[in-house]
Amino acid sequence: MKTRAALVALTASTLLLAACGTTTSTSSAAKSPIVIGVSVSLSGDFSGDGKAILQGYQMWVNDVNKQGGLLGRKVQLKVVDDDSTTQQTLTNYTTLIGTDKVNLVFGPFSSLLTIPAEQIAKRYGYVLLGPAGGAPNVFAEKYKGYAFVQPASVVNNLLTFGQMIDALPAAQRPTTVAYATSNDPFTQPQLPPLQAELTKDGVKSVSYQVFPDETPDLTPEALKIVHSGAQVVVLGTTSVPQVQAFVQTFVQQHYTPKAIIATSGPDQGSQFATAIGAANTEGFLVPSGWTPTANTYQNGKFVREYLAKYGGTANAIPGDAPEAYSVGQIMAQMVAKTHSINNATLIKALHDTTFQTVQGPMKFGPYGAPVGGGTFLVQWQSGATQIVWPTSIQQANFEYPKPNWK
């Protein structure tokens, strides 16, 4: 039978051991890495963009770890491939959050895949920063923990093109336009506002097509545009291969429009130039929210580091990479402001701050739409992309009409 003194000693010893165990556990947790789960398209239709998104994420992780990480803890990415499909994206984020218990998550490529990612983030109360998910359907989820990390919502992306066409001398303005878009939630909503703008300016729509995003052969759609004889072509494309498919048919049919713009593809730098041929990039337009020459937060450093790691020229940097890098920048600023990686705490900080990124300052509305920013138009000229609109930041004059395909 233990004496009272022995029991007191035993109790004290037990408490001391428990306290030591707690201290050790807390210390260990403080030194463990902060794990960020990422689902990206490393295979499938979006793989080109997905790999560029991953480049941007990895560059940010390298930079933040050189500075000591977040809250004194190293940052580690847990990357899984979503195969460019909604079902795999849904599975990936369910596993990353529900099973793997990652601390934070970053978004995938495209609005199509962001919607299931957002639904899972909402279920678990995680903040989700999306580098490429700005379609109306994404904001319709009404999740306060989501933010689209680009300067403007995609629905107005092409309106700058309409403004530029309207600014041409009356005698030079085109009279006909052909539209073709995938049914992707990123591309399809962009065309109607532009069509309304051009129709108001007297530019007649002679062809308007919507095709399934997974269409394996776009030759019929391209031929309809050729046969329309439209002076302007507007492509609602989600990837370089889709643009490549249209261009191949246009070249074969010796059909060159006076102007051609695509929602995505020409923003992919060297990947785009390689796919359609460097000479055929001339005159191609694409809306953009980033340029390598911009005097924005850490942009010069980002460009130097990208070129040191991946080579090439600044104009060949795919637009997805700075978008993903901006996601990391915003996360770091939220964590620094709140001194926390608690997702509920971070969500509160998401809507009361203006963040600095390589794409410029960003602020978000209640459901993640960017506030106060806007896109500009870039055009491929002499193997490089130049800002041609608006004139306030113009790097080169709008090349019009587009030269013939080579």
DSSP state letters, 268-301 = GTHHHHHHH-GGGGTTEEEEES--TT---TTHHH
Task: Write the CA distances from 225 to 174, 209, 251, 260, 316, integer angstroms.
Answer: 15, 9, 12, 12, 29
Distance CA(386)–CA(406), nearest Å, equals: 21
Q: Do domains 32-154+295-362 and 156-289+376-393 have the same CATH topology?
A: yes
Residues lower than pLDDT 50 in the chain: 1-29
43, exposed or middle or buried, with CB in 10 Å at 0-12, 13-18, 19+? middle
32-154+295-362 — its CATH code? 3.40.50.2300
How many other C-beta atoms are found inside a 10 Å radius of the C-beta of residue 336?
A: 12
- Tokens matching residue 216: 């394996």
CA-to-CA distance for 41 and 209, rounded, in angstroms? Answer: 27
DSSP annotation string for 185-249: TTTGGGHHHHHHHHHHTT-EEEEEEEE-TT-S--HHHHHHHHHHT-SEEEEE-SSHHHHHHHHHH
Nearest to 205 by CA among 229, 187, 222: 229
> What is the domain partition of the chain in residue ranges?
32-154+295-362, 156-289+376-393
Q: How far apart are CA 184 and CA 161, in angstroms?
A: 20
Fill in the DSSP letter of residue 391.
Answer: G
Residue whose C-alpha is closest to residue 182's, from 308, 46, 315: 46
What pLDDT does residue 30 have? 53
Question: CA dist 100 to 35, 80, 90, 118, 310, Å?
Answer: 10, 12, 14, 17, 31
Residues 187 and 134: their CA atoms lie apart, in Å, by 10
| Cα–Cα distance measured from residue 289 to residue 375, given in angstroms and rounded to the nearest whole number | 5
CA nearest neighbour of 177 among 234, 124, 123: 234
Radius of gyration of the chain measured on its C-alpha atoms: 25
- HSE value, Cβ hemisphere, 13 Å, CA-based, for 192: 7
Which residues neighbour 57 within 8 Å (Cβ) at sequence distance 6 or greater?
38, 40, 77, 106, 324, 325, 327, 328
Homologous superfamily of 156-289+376-393: Response regulator (3.40.50.2300)
User: How many C-beta atoms lie closer than 10 Å to residue 261's C-beta?
Assistant: 25
DSSP-assigned letter for residue 261: E
Degrees, nearest 5: CA angle 211-217-223: 75
Each residue of 319-335: pLDDT tens digit? Answer: 999 999 999 999 999 99
Cis upstream peptide for 33 (omega within 30°): no
The residues, any chain, with a CB within 8 Å of residue 327's CB and separated by 6 or more, are: 56, 57, 60, 106, 107, 129, 130, 131, 149
Q: Token pair for residue 60? A: 């940010």
Question: E strands of 82-121, at which residues?
Answer: 104-106
Phi/psi of residue 67, nearest 5 degrees? -95, 10
